[in-house]
Amino acid sequence: MPDKPALIRSDEVQALPEERRPHPLDATLVRHTRSLGDAAGLTTIGVHLVRLEQGDTSSVLHFHQQDEEWVYILSGRGTANIGDAQHEVGPGDFMGFVAGSQPHNLHNPHAEDLVYLVGGNRLPFDVCDYPKIGKRRYRVNGKNVYVDVSLLAEAGELPPTDVR
């Protein structure tokens, strides 16, 4: 029997601790996160309530090779960077990123907080590429290792990544 509640009421969501999460590859990129999936005991799916303050960016531009990811905007406005394009987004907008999709992230240039739900798989293994900075993350059973892709390619350890 699970020890986590299946139903988390609105007041309980608001009472969840909001974590300040700088990106591991760029500490200037910060999001404020409440982990709804963790609170409900989900283990194979991540679901997070995220708040970006003015000037904040969600992550380094990235794409996943195995995991799928989605974003649903609840309030505020922002800029979705998808591939080489920028898209204004607001409440009710949805983005879905299949494995191998174009690199993406969100930015909030506005005074009002950008609030959204984000989620995706938590497969035992994922590769996440950061093409603009030449990094790759390997996640194996929840543990992350970051590597410089160009050094591995030069050493013949892996083919160069597809820079999108």
Convert the pLDDT of each residue in 62-110 to its tens digit: 999 999 999 999 999 999 999 999 999 999 999 999 999 999 999 999 9
Grouping H, G, I as helix, E, B as strand and the rest as coil, residue 101 is coil
Q: The domain containing residue 86 runs over which residues? A: 10-123
Does a structural domain hold residue 18? yes
CATH number of 15's domain: 2.60.120.10
At residue 98, the pLDDT reads 97
61 in any annotated domain: yes
Q: Is the pLDDT of residue 164 over 50?
A: no
90: left (phi over 0), alpha (psi -120 to 50) or beta: beta
Q: What does the pLDDT look like over 126-144, one tens digit per residue?
A: 999 999 999 999 999 989 9
Domain-embedded: residue 52: yes
Query: How many domains does the chain divide into?
Result: 1
pLDDT band at 35 (very low <50, low <70, confident <90, very high): very high
Per the domain annotation, does 158 fall within a domain? no
Whole-model pTM: value is 0.89
Residue 151 confidence (pLDDT) above 80: no
Q: Is residue 88 part of a domain?
A: yes
For 1-11, what is the mean pLDDT?
85
pLDDT at 61 over 70: yes
DSSP string over 32-68: EEEEHHHHTT-SSEEEEEEEE-TT-BSSSSBEESS--
What is the average pLDDT across 23-29? 95
Angstrom distance (rounded) from CA 23 to CA 42: 23
**Domain assignment present for 108:** yes
- Could you tell me which residues come within 8 angstroms of residue 59 by beta carbon, excluding any fewer than 6 positions away? 23, 29, 31, 105
Mean of the pLDDT values across residues 32-37?
A: 97
Helix spans in 40-159 (H): 149-154
Rounded to the nearest integer, the mean pLDDT of the chain is 92
Q: Shortest CA distance to 107 belongs to which of 75, 80, 143?
A: 80
Look at residue 157 in the predicted model and tell me its pLDDT. 63
